Amino acid sequence: MCLVNYLNRQALHDVAATRQLEQRLQQALPEHTLMARAGLAVARLALAIAPHAQRIWIAAGLGNNGGDGIEAALHLQRWGKRPLVSWLGHPEQASADTRLAYQNALDAGVPFVDGPPSHFELCIDALLGIGSQLREPVGLMADWMHRINTCAAPVLAVDVPSGLQADTGVASRCHVKANYTLSLLTLKPGLFTAQGRDLAGSVWLDDLQQDQVNPSAPPPSPPSAWLAGRALTTNRAHASHKGSYGDVVVVGGASGMSGAALLAASAALHGGVGRVFVSLLNDQPLRLDTTQPELMFRKLGTLPLETMSVVCGCGGGTAIAKHLPELLKSAKQLVIDADGLNAIAQSAPLQGLLAERGLQQRATILTPHPLEAARLLACSAADIQADRLTSAQQLARRFACTVVLKGSGTVIAQADALPVINPTGNARLATGGTGDVLAGLTGARLAGGLGAFDAACQAVYQHGAVADHWPQAQALTASQLARALTV
C-alpha cells in the first residue's frame, strides 16, 4: 500500500480496464482471495490513520464494495477494535464473495446494526464503488451519506467516495466527502479531476499484490490517462547565453487590460526565458515597465515571429482577432489563451488556420477554462465538466494541437497521446491573472526547447506547485505567483 507519489508519473485506469483486471485476477486466484486482500488493505489503512479509534462504523452497500467493508470489519474485530456494520444488502441477493465475507464476520462476532451508531471515532464508507457511477443515492443510503458528511470522525472511502464517478470525477447530488480514499487495484481518473480532488482527500493505492499473479499472463489494458509527476530539473550550461533559452513575445493587453499581458510577460521572464517582448494592442503608449525593466516593448509588425514563441490573447479583448491570422500563420510556437480562444470560437476561418497549423506540426497550445472550451466545442460548460478528459481530447483532435483544460485537476491532452491529469494547485489560484501567468510560463517552456505537450505538462505542474507551497496565512496574487516561478 502506498500514498500516491506525485514525483513519478502514475497510471490511471478507467472502470472498464479495472474490471478487466479484476476478472483476470479472480480467474487466477482462489475464490474470495481478492475481496480478502481488499478488506485487509482497508483495515490496515484504517488502523494507520486512526490508531486510537475503537468504535468504527462501516457503512456497507449492496455490491462488492460493501463486501470489502464487511471484510475489513472482520480484521478490525480480530485486532481488538469494535467495528459496527450497517449493511444495506441481504445474503440472498449478495455476490458469493460478499456472502462469505458476511458469514465470516458473523462467525467472528462482528455486530451488524440497523443504522449509524450515536458515536464512532472512524467511519469507513463502503456504500458505492466504481460499478455504481450512474446511481443517484436515495432513501436510507442518502440518509447514511448525510450522517457521514456531518460526523466529526475521519472518513475513509473504499475505492472511491460514494457518489463519485470513477472515470470523470463528477459527483451525484448526494455523495460522500472523505478525508482518505483507498483506491484498490488501480488509480481512477475521477479521483484527481473535477469534484474528485475535493471529495477524495488523501489518496492511497493498494494494488492487491496483482504483480504476484501469473506473471506470464497478458498485461492488463493500458491506462486511460496519466497522473503527472514532477519533471526533473536540468542545470544550465555555463557556456550558454540568453539566446540559448529562446524569445517569448506576449501579444495582448488591449486598452484597460494591459495588466494581463504584463503578468504573462512576467511569468515568462521568471520562468527563465532568454528575452521577453511585449506587444500591447491598440497602440498603447507604455514603453517601459519600471518594476520589470527587462521587458522590451515592441510593435507587433517589427518582430520576427517565425523565430519566437508567441503568447497571445491575455487581456486581448476584441482587438486580438485582427492579429490572429498573422500569428497563426507565422509564429514558430504559439500559446493561445483567453480572448484569443474566444475569437477563434467565433470565426470559422480562424478555426481553419488553427487546424492547419496542427497539420503542419507547428507547436500550438490552447489553454481554455471550461467556458472557453465550451465555446470552442459549441456546447455548455456543464458538458465540458461532465467529462473533462474526453472534452480535452476532443479539442486536441479537432484542432490537432495540445490542450490545457484548466480547473481542478487540469487536463493536458494531445491528439496522439494519453491525456495527463495534473495533481498540483489549489483554490489560491482562483484569482484574477493566474491564467495569464500560466500562459506566459507555458510560452517560456516552449521557448526553452520543450515540445508542446511536455511544455504544457511542466508549466501546469510548476504553476500549481507554487500555490501548494504558498504560506497558509498569506494571500497569493498573480504577480506574486509569477515572481515565485523558477527555471
Domain locations in the chain? Answer: 2-220, 243-483
Confidence of residue 104 (pLDDT cuts 50, 70, 90): very high
pLDDT band at 369 (very low <50, low <70, confident <90, very high): very high
Cα 109 → chain centroid: 42
Mean pLDDT of all residues in 295-299: 94
- Least trusted range by pLDDT, from 16-25, 41-50, 448-457: 16-25
pLDDT of residue 135: 64
Among residues 76, 101, 210, the alpha carbon closest in space to that of 156 is found at 76
pLDDT > 70 in the chain, percent: 96
pLDDT given for residue 9 in this prediction: 86
pLDDT over 60 at 6, yes or no: no
Mean pLDDT of 307-311: 97
β-bridge mates for residue 420, sequence order: 226, 412
Which phi and psi (to 5°) does residue 178 adopt?
-100, 155
What pLDDT, on the 0 to 100 scale, is given for residue 439?
98
Superfamily per CATH, domain 243-483: Ribokinase (3.40.1190.20)
- Check residue 210 and give its pLDDT: 83
The residue-averaged pLDDT of 118-128 equals: 97
What is 2-220's CATH superfamily?
A: YjeF N-terminal domain (3.40.50.10260)
pLDDT at 212: 73
Whether 4 shows a pLDDT value over 60: the answer reads: yes
Q: What is the pLDDT of residue 286?
A: 73
Tell me the pLDDT band of 221, cut-offs 50, 70 and 90. confident
Query: Distance (Å, rounded) from C-alpha 351 to C-alpha 401?
Result: 12
pLDDT for 487 equals 73
Cα separations (Å) of 370 from 179, 378, 398? 27, 12, 16
274 touches 336 (CB < 8 A): no
Residue 217: pLDDT over 60: no
pLDDT band (50, 70, 90) for residue 232: low
Q: Tally Cβ neighbours within 10 Å of residue 287.
A: 10
The arithmetic mean of pLDDT across residues 272-299, rounded, is 90
- The whole-chain average pLDDT of the chain stands at 93
Q: What gap in Å lies between CA 395 and CA 386, rounded to an integer?
A: 15
Phi-psi domain of 407 (left: phi exceeds 0; alpha: psi -120 through 50; beta: other): left
Mean pLDDT of 400-405: 98
* pLDDT band at 214; cut points 50, 70, 90: low
Band of the pLDDT at 431, cuts 50, 70, 90? very high
Q: pLDDT at position 65, please?
A: 96
Least confident segment among 113-122, 229-238, 399-408: 229-238
pLDDT (average), residues 463-486:
95
Residues in CB range of 301: below 8 A, 6 or more apart: none
pLDDT at residue 219 greater than cutoff 70? no
